[in-house]
Every structure is written in structure tokens, then in C-alpha cells.
């Protein structure tokens, strides 16, 4: 890594303006495009085979929020942190919210964990045992109350519920249990809160998953009401799935609530966003940017990272991922929408694709550096963080760091 050269930066930004026109509005939209980081991404994590420990990782929820504040400090666009309950459970959530504000943050999505308890071996909301279903409803409802305490308006739900073998459970009965439990929680939510329903094709259930794809999540959200929407995790699809098409469909239905941003090569690998398939990420952002330009389209979408940072240093990886999102969003904002619509209307397939390629192949790194300078930030956030000495300080001060923290969704 090397620092941005100021002379080269200005020349490159002018070159972009000569190709794509005035970038003033593009820069403002980049500055206001916020990416939420996950508390669980700051702790030690690994795979089912073992945990890869790093020095200086947080030991509790307060230190995880402190690290999230550092990511926001160097990116300027990560002003919220998602929490996972009970991993981030504290005695006083108001105090946790106050601590976040001291770091320039707010508490974002509340994520209940109803998959690790031994009672949930055969399901949580879909368990045949009514006492276990009640326990799961109570745990999720507790997160609604936590949301109220920290002024969060997002309840993010992922379920490991499913079966491993044919005949293990009744599909339709389990569907009924799921809707009944979600309905109870939905009725307990305050008016400004949204329920985001995540789905997953497989794992840990190998035969069927109760919310296996976007259609099932969409159907449940439709049944529940306007405050329920779908959460798209980029890793939770079959290989080759056209995620940008799914995104466009959900936007048009007013049911796209948010993202868990990551990437994959084989299955739900939870690797750095846009690290393997940046063009897919660009095409997804192309649909999102187009929706933002449409005044008649609902686009209050939550963007959240959900990655397994088990090899890279945690904070550097978070910064790198936020920048990766900014990069593809910036490219999507360069798409000439009027020209694209004209090409589509005239059946000019080659021209339409070339318009997208012009934006995708643009080098927007100088533009992003210019945006950071205008925000009073260092143009090179990863380098600036490394030079700060924060990692070394944390390694000295934090002893007895917490063990594995892994999110199943």
C-alpha cells in the first residue's frame, strides 16, 4: 500500500468529470451512504475446525463498540454497529447506547440468537415443543425491548431452523409455527420498528431450511405486514443465483429491508464483500442506485456487513470492506441512466451493456479519496489506521480476550 499522491488525485478526478460530468451530487450520495458494521466481526472467530486468535480483540460489548467507532473514524460512513444478543448482552443497555454515542455511533440492528442453545437442536420457532417455541418468542421479544432502550428501529432475524433428514419434520406444520411466532413478535414491535427476515439455502440444516430462500421470506413478510421486510445475505444463495434480479424484485414490491454484505466462492463463505465477484456487487448497487433516483420507490434500506474475519486483522478488514462497498456504489452512481433507458427502449443490447461497463471499469479510487478529504478524513483509511498505533495499543491493554464469536447467518 502507498499513499495517494495529491497531484495524481486531482488529475484523476478531473478525468472522471470529463467523462461522466459534474460529480457534485455523486460525492454527496457517497458521503451519505452508510454501512453498518457487526459487533461480532470484531471478536475472535474461526471455522468449525478451530478459532484463529488475534491480539487485542475486544473482550466485551463495550470494547467491540470502541473498535466500531475506530472504523467510523477512518471511513466516516459507518455510524452504526449491529449487536447480537446474548453475545452483546449487558446489564444496562441504555449505558451501552450512551457508550456508542461517545464513539460517534448508534446501536443499529438487534440480532437475536436462537440457534446455539441446546433447546434449539430441533428448531426454535418451528420446534414441535410449544415450551421451546415460547422460549424463542420470548428471546426475540426481549430484543424488541432492547431496541426500544437503545433507540434502534431494526430487528434482524435469521433462523437455523430446519431438518437434516426426510421425515424429521412436517414442512407445513413448521411453516405454521414460524408464522405464529413471528406474528407474536411483530405485534409487540413499536410503530417505527422494522422486522428484517433473512433466509438461507442450507446449513446447519442439510435437508430443508424453514426460511430457505427470498420467496419464503417475502411470503412471510407479506403475511406479517408493512413493518416486515426481507434481508438479503449475499452468501445465502445457490451458485449462479441472479441476486441483482432478486434485489430489483423486492425493491419493486417495497419489501427490500436490508443486506448482510459479504461474498463467496463456493457456499456461504462469508468472505470480504466484493473480493471474488465485484461485478455482481456493482450490478446489485446499480439496481439500488436506480431505485434511489426513482421518487416513487421505497428505498429505506439497511446496509450491514456480515463477514467472518478469521484471517485478516479485524478493524483493517472492516475498513477495507466499507471501502469496497463505497467503490461499487460510486461506480453505480456513474451509470448514465438516461442513455441506458434510451438503449433499452431501442433494443440496443450492445450499447446498454457498454454503458454499464463504462461505469464499472472507471477507477473511482481518486473520487473516494477526494470525498474523504472533503469530509476531513485521511484519503487512505487503511494506511491511516495502521499509522495510528491503535492495534498495538489494544494488544497491550486487552488481556484475556474473548473466545470464538461466530454468526451462523
Mean pLDDT, residues 283-293: 96
What mean pLDDT do residues 392-408 have?
70
pLDDT in tens, 55-95: 999 999 999 999 999 999 999 999 999 999 999 999 999 99
For residue 290, pLDDT beyond 60: yes
State how far the alpha carbon of 32 is from the alpha carbons of 25, 70, 135, in Å. Answer: 11, 18, 39
pLDDT at 405: 53
pLDDT for the residue numbered 401: 53
How much is the pLDDT for 402? 52
- Binned at pLDDT 50, 70 and 90, residue 409 comes out as very low
CATH superfamily for domain 34-336: Divalent-metal-dependent TIM barrel enzymes (3.20.20.150)
Beta-bridge mates of residue 84: 111
Residue 298 has pLDDT above 80, yes or no: no
pLDDT band at 403 (very low <50, low <70, confident <90, very high): very low
pLDDT band at 407 (very low <50, low <70, confident <90, very high): very low
pLDDT band at 400 (very low <50, low <70, confident <90, very high): low
Per domain, the residue ranges of the chain are 34-336
Residue 404 in this model has a pLDDT that exceeds 90:
no
* % of the chain residues with pLDDT over 90: 89
pLDDT exceeds 80 at position 299 = no
Whether residue 232 contacts residue 259, with contact meaning beta carbons closer than 8 Å, is answered with: yes
Residue 49, pLDDT above cutoff 90: no
* pLDDT confidence of residue 310: 87
Q: Is the pLDDT of residue 30 over 50?
A: yes
DSSP collapsed to 3 states, the chain = CCCCCHHHHHHHHHHHHHHHCCCHHHHHHHHCCCCEEEHHHHCCEEECCEEECCCCCCCCHHHHHHHHHHHHHHHCCCCEEEEEECCCCCCCHHHHHHHHHHCCCEEEEEEECCCCCHHHCCCCCCCCCHHHHHHHHHHHHHHHHHHHHHCCCEEEECCCCEECCCCCCCHHHHHHHHHHHHHHHHHHCCCCCEEEEECCCCCCCCCEECCCCHHHHHHHHHHHCCCEEEEEECCCCCCCCCHHHHHHHHHHCCCEEEEEECECCCCCCCECCCCCCHHHHHHHHHHHHHHHCCCCCCCCCEEEECCCCCCCCHHHHHHHHHHHHHHHHHHHHCCCHHHHHHHHHCCCHHHHHHHHHHHHCCCCHHHHHHHHHHCCCCCCHHHHHHHHCHHHHHHHHCCCCCCCCCCCC
- The arithmetic mean of pLDDT across residues 283-309, rounded, is 92
pTM, two decimals, is 0.95
In degrees, rounded to 5, the angle at the alpha carbon of residue 350 between the alpha carbons of residues 344 and 352 is 35
- Position 184 scores a pLDDT of 98
Q: What is residue 408's predicted lDDT score, i.e. its pLDDT?
A: 40
Q: What is the pLDDT of residues 183-208, one digit of tens each?
A: 999 999 999 999 999 999 999 999 99
pLDDT greater than 80 at residue 319: yes
Mean pLDDT, rounded, for 319-334:
98
pLDDT at 48 over 80: no
Amino acid at each position: 500500500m502507498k499513499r495517494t499522491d495529491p497531484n495524481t488525485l486531482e488529475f484523476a478526478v478531473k478525468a472522471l468529470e470529463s467523462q461522466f460530468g459534474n460529480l457534485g451530487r455523486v460525492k454527496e450520495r457517497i458521503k451519505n451512504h452508510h454501512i453498518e458494521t457487526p459487533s461480532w466481526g470484531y471478536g475472535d472467530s474461526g471455522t468449525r475446525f478451530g478459532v484463529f486468535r488475534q491480539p487485542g480483540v475486544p473482550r466485551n460489548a463495550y470494547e467491540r463498540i470502541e473498535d466500531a467507532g475506530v472504523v467510523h473514524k477512518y471511513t466516516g460512513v459507518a455510524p452504526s454497529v449491529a449487536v447480537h444478543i446474548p453475545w452483546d448482552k449487558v446489564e444496562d443497555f441504555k449505558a451501552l447506547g450512551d457508550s456508542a454515542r461517545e464513539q460517534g455511533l448508534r446501536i443499529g440492528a438487534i440480532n437475536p440468537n436462537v440457534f446455539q442453545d441446546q433447546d434449539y437442536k430441533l428448531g426454535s420457532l418451528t420446534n414441535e415443543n410449544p415450551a421451546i417455541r415460547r422460549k424463542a418468542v420470548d428471546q426475540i421479544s426481549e430484543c424488541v425491548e432492547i431496541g426500544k432502550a437503545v433507540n434502534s428501529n431494526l430487528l434482524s432475524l435469521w433462523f437455523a431452523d430446519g431438518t437434516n433428514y426426510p421425515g424429521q419434520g412436517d414442512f407445513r406444520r413448521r411453516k405454521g409455527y414460524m408464522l405464529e411466532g413471528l406474528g407474536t413478535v411483530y405485534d409487540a414491535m413499536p410503530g417505527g420498528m422494522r422486522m428484517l427476515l433473512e433466509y438461507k439455502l442450507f446449513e446447519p440444516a442439510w435437508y430443508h431450511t424453514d426460511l430457505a430462500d427470498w420467496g419464503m421470506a417475502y411470503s412471510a413478510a407479506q403475511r406479517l405486514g408493512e413493518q416486515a421486510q426481507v434481508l438479503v445475505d449475499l452468501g445465502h444463495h445457490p451458485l449462479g443465483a441472479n441476486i441483482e434480479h432478486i434485489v430489483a424484485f423486492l425493491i419493486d414490491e417495497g419489501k427490500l429491508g436490508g443486506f448482510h454484505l459479504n461474498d463467496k466462492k463456493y457456499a456461504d463463505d462469508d468472505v470480504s464483500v466484493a473480493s471474488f465477484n465485484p461485478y455482481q456487487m456493482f450490478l446489485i448497487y446499480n439496481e439500488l442506485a436506480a431505485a434511489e433516483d426513482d421518487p416513487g420507490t421505497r428505498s429505506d434500506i439497511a446496509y450491514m456487513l456480515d463477514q467472518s474475519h478469521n484471517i485478516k486483522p479485524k478493524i483493517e478488514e472492516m475498513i477495507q470492506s466499507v471501502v469496497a462497498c463505497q467503490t461499487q456504489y460510486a461506480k453505480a452512481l456513474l451509470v448514465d441512466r438516461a442513455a441506458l433507458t434510451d438503449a433499452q427502449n431501442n433494443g440496443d443490447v450492445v450499447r446498454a451493456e457498454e454503458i454499464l461497463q463504462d461505469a464499472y471499469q472507471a477507477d473511482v479510487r481518486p473520487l473516494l479519496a477526494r470525498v474523504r478529504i472533503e469530509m476531513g478524513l485521511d484519503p487512505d483509511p487503511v494506511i491511516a489506521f495502521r499509522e495510528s498505533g491503535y492495534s498495538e495499543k489494544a494488544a497491550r491493554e486487552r488481556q484475556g480476550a474473548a473466545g470464538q464469536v461466530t454468526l451462523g447467518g
